[in-house]
């Protein structure tokens, strides 16, 4: 077909044109304004956690004798009030986000490093390798996550590094399943089959063709995993099995606030609202990205 004739056909039929600008705009608009609100909330919490040490807030462990023992409510000097031993709640919520966010992101990153490559290899090569690791992941998933976490923490301890490792151990089978499912799906696409027919090496097909397609799927599910990891750390803290006082985390602050109910409601609400807002934002971001990028779950 002559170049001019081909150009005329593509120009006359918008469905045949490769208009990357239009595609990019459609993808951008498909996310919706709620997505960007969620991104803003998540970014604000991440920035607060990173720059907590330079913000004009009090030290989270400083005891303010003017509200000692009173669980004082909000005031000009303490916007969210003080806890029962005189520590500023706003400061502790901001500093508490550090541990909660570090545990959430680091544990999922570690589980992705383990479960991602295993899932890709199992999904593409199949055979005994797929069967063995599928059985292993099924065994891990058969245990209730909280019970498994409590068992592991009793052996490893409850330092920040230990909690990251524990949640990664609990979470890696989920990332393994997601990456495996995405690999199985994309390995059946026409361009992959064409590459196989042309004699491309299997390692090259996996690394150069399939991997770029499964990374968005893995990232979107990983964001949801971060939210679940923060909830998991909060659950362990609530049971006294995570990073303990005086280091503030959202989980141990909620646990401490429960003991002061209903007299000092602000002790519970402040960290609970903080955790809820970040988890809701991360869940919404992951869900919107997943639906926009058409991540399918049929082969899970």
Whole-angstrom distance, CA of residue 276 vs CA of residue 231: 9
CA 107 to chain centre: 9
* pLDDT value of residue 278: 93
Rounded mean pLDDT, 270-279: 91
Question: Does residue 288 belong to any structural domain of this protein?
Answer: yes
Q: Which helix (H) or strand (E) holds 236?
A: helix 211-238
CA 130 to chain centre: 26
Question: Does residue 48 belong to any structural domain of this protein?
Answer: no
Q: Which helix (H) or strand (E) holds 28?
A: helix 20-30
Question: Does residue 218 belong to any structural domain of this protein?
Answer: yes
User: Tokens standing for 5?
Assistant: 């004739």
What is the tally of structural domains in the chain? 1
* pLDDT value of residue 20: 40
Q: Which residues pair with 82 in a beta bridge?
A: 88
pLDDT above 60: residue 5: no
Question: Does residue 62 belong to any structural domain of this protein?
Answer: no
Per-residue pLDDT tens digits for 129-162: 999 999 999 988 888 888 888 888 888 877 888 8
pLDDT tier for residue 6 given thresholds of 50, 70 and 90? very low
* pLDDT value of residue 68: 59
Question: Does residue 224 belong to any structural domain of this protein?
Answer: yes
Question: Does residue 74 belong to any structural domain of this protein?
Answer: no
pLDDT above 70: residue 79: yes
Q: Residue 33: is it exposed, middle or buried by C-beta count within 10 angstroms (0-12/13-18/19+)?
A: exposed
Segments forming the whole domain that contains residue 145 = 95-294
Q: How many CA atoms lie within 13 A of 61 on its CB side?
A: 5
**CATH code for position 235:** 1.10.3720.10
3-class SS of residue 78: coil
* pLDDT value of residue 194: 86
Name the DSSP class of 293.
T
User: Tokens standing for 159?
Assistant: 């330092």
* pLDDT value of residue 204: 85
| Beta carbons of 82 and 231 less than 8 angstroms apart | no
Determine the longest span between alpha carbons in the chain, in angstroms.
85
Per-residue pLDDT tens digits for 90-106: 888 999 898 889 989 99
pLDDT tier for residue 70 given thresholds of 50, 70 and 90? low
Question: Does residue 37 belong to any structural domain of this protein?
Answer: no
Question: Does residue 47 belong to any structural domain of this protein?
Answer: no
Average pLDDT over the chain, rounded to an integer: 79
């Amino acid at each position: 077909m002559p170049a001019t004739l081909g150009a005329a056909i593509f120009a006359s039929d918008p469905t045949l044109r490769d208009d990357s600008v239009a595609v990019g705009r459609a993808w951008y608009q498909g996310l919706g304004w709620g997505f960007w609100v969620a991104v803003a909330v998540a970014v604000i919490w991440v920035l607060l956690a990173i720059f907590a040490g330079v913000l004009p807030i009090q030290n989270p462990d400083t005891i303010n004798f003017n509200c000692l023992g009173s669980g004082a409510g909000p005031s000009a000097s303490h916007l969210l009030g003080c806890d029962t031993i005189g520590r500023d709640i706003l400061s502790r919520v901001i500093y508490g986000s550090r541990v909660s966010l570090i545990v959430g992101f680091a544990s999922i990153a570690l589980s992705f490093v383990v479960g991602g490559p295993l899932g890709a290899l199992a999904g593409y090569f199949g055979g005994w390798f797929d069967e063995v690791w599928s059985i292993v992941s099924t065994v891990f998933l058969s245990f209730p996550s909280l019970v498994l976490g409590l068992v592991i923490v009793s052996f490893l301890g409850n330092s920040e590094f230990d909690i990251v490792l524990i949640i990664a151990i609990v979470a890696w089978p989920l990332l393994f399943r997601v990456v495996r499912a995405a690999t199985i799906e994309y390995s059946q696409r026409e361009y992959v089959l064409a590459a196989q027919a042309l004699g491309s090496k299997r390692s090259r097909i996996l690394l150069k063709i399939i991997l770029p397609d499964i990374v968005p799927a893995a990232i979107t599910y990983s964001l949801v995993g971060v939210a679940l990891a923060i909830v998991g750390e909060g659950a362990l803290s609530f049971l006294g099995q995570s990073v303990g006082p005086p280091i503030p985390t959202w989980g141990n602050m909620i646990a401490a606030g429960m003991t002061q109910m209903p007299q000092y409601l602000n002790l519970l609400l402040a960290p609970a609202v903080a955790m809820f807002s970040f988890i809701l934002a991360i869940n919404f971001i992951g869900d919107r990205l997943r639906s926009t990028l058409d991540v399918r779950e049929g082969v899970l």
